[in-house]
A and B are shown apart, each in its own frame.
Chain A
Amino acid sequence: MTELRYLAPDTLDEAIGAFAKAGSAARILAGGTDLLVQMRSGVLKPGVIVDIKKIPEMTAIEQTADGGFRIGAAVSGMALAEHGKFGKIWPGVLEAVNLIGSKQVQGRASAGGNLCNGSPAGDSVPAMVAAGAVVTVQGPNGRREMKVEDVPAGPGRTNLKPGEILVSFALPPRPPGSSDAYLRMIPRTEMDIAVVGVGVSLTIKDGTVTSARVGLGAVAPTVLLVEDAAKALIGSKLDDAALAKAAAACSAACRPIDDKRGTIAYRTKVAGVLLKRTAGIAAQRAQGK
């Protein structure tokens, strides 16, 4: 690796200034579990690395006054798991973040990096989409908010504008009777890339689903928000007919690749099967079972 400059600014303004100034030669370093591998293999040769972990906002987990959560983009999976309250309120998001790589990787890897890496198979992304998470991004032209599902643009690409940095995720407050779950299919039991990933977030009142969101990963160029699946669940008691309709909506949304992990037919079918299982787990949690 040639001439590399490492910067670790203390403030977001400094980070944005340095990042924008260096242009396309610059890369953001959060956990680094993707960036360092790409540098090592020669895929990337950044001129400047901007380490964002000294910026307090990037590494903070806070519960907001309305009961929602704000999670810094560089918070590691391990730090999120160690938080006393987060996993009780958003168990699906936590289990998704803690399926990223090994324990060693979870000690560093962040949901922000997982999203900005732009992989269609990123585990935390479908769960964040289901959660209705909104990200704050900041660049030379100021701050703006984006829905998580609007961030990925395709494999390895995002809709962030040049010079923009992902700052944090905001997860909304949850009404009583709400919970979430994330399941993925992989060929082995640990340490693999999702063949299909499904995140479901539900609110249930008197046995009836009053709101639902479904995120679907690894079956299209980007992680998807499947609104038709959510519609099929809302108003139902999660009976077989409603689940079958939601599963069909997930399968219909699939535009997967054919690879050694799964064929198009397999991924399409599994998307529906996983929707049913994930919704079942989310419903049990929502009803305190």
Chain B
Amino acid sequence: MAKVHVTTTINGEPMEFLCEPSDTMLDALRGTLNLTGSKEGCASGDCGACSITLDDRLVCSCLMLAVESEGHEIRTIEGMAQGDKLHPLQQKFLEMAALQCGICTSGMLVASDALLKKNPDPSEEEVRFWLAGNLCRCTGYDKIVRAVMETAAEMRAQ
């Protein structure tokens, strides 16, 4: 079977790539496109380490085919910082040590960003429920939740 040609937008940039029909979006991102910020944890939609947004909706890139991105808009962790300037969530995660091994971090950041875009003033419970699909093997959840809450408060104040 010939490879499929896909035209899509990734982090605001028009992008074209070739993939096998069975490749997941995560395969395409990490392999062909060399965007390795999205991590593969479980490959079954349980861990959230591969979280991206598809037309502004949070999804697991392991649970979509790369061909499905045709004509749609993808955002990944690579599109979060503006040049050298970190996103407030990234900065806060660093300051508050809201990460240990780092495998879950890009997924946590993408998911948290999606939450704050939808709800700039979430309760702690809402943050915890929203991030329930992001697993951290280092059990660092508390610092992550606090970092998200604090970032939300600072972004609201600006």
Contacts and interface: CB of A to CB of B under 8 A. Distances in A.
B132 A191 contact: yes
Contact of A4 (B1, B46, B63): B1
A260 to B, nearest CB: 17
A6 B4 contact: yes
B57 A5 contact: no
Interface stretch (B64-72, B77-85, B95-103, B150-158): B64-72
Contact of B58 (A6, A53, A79, A103): A103
Nearest to B125: A189
A280 interface: no
B45 interface: yes
A53 B70 CA distance: 12
Contacts of B57: 76, 78-79, 107-108
Interface stretch (A32-40, A146-154, A174-182, A194-202): A32-40
Nearest to A36: B63
B22 interface: yes
B74 interface: no
A40 B93 CA distance: 33
Contacts of B68: 8, 29, 32, 51, 53
Contacts of A102: 45, 48, 132-134
A104 interface: yes
B62 A36 contact: yes
A239 interface: no
Interface in A93-112: 101-105, 107-108
B65 A104 contact: no
Nearest to B59: A107
Interface residues of B, number: 32
A103 B111 contact: yes
A5 B21 contact: yes
A58 interface: no
B18 interface: no
A105 B44 CA distance: 10
Interface string A199-211: 0000000000000
B48 A104 contact: yes
A3 B22 CA distance: 9
Interface in A19-64: 29, 31-33, 36-37, 39-41, 49, 51, 53
B130 A105 contact: no
B129 A190 contact: yes
B130 A37 contact: no
B24 interface: yes
B18 to A, nearest CB: 13
B144 to A, nearest CB: 15
A4 B21 contact: yes
B104 interface: no
10 contacts: A4-B1, A4-B20, A8-B68, A32-B65, A41-B44, A51-B67, A78-B57, A101-B133, A102-B132, A190-B129
Given A3-B1, A33-B60, A37-B44, 15 more contacts: A4-B1, A6-B21, A8-B68, A31-B63, A32-B64, A40-B43, A49-B21, A76-B57, A101-B45, A103-B114, A103-B132, A104-B59, A105-B63, A107-B54, A108-B63
Interface of A: 1, 3-6, 8, 29, 31-33, 36-37, 39-41, 49, 51, 53, 76, 78-79, 101-105, 107-108, 190-191
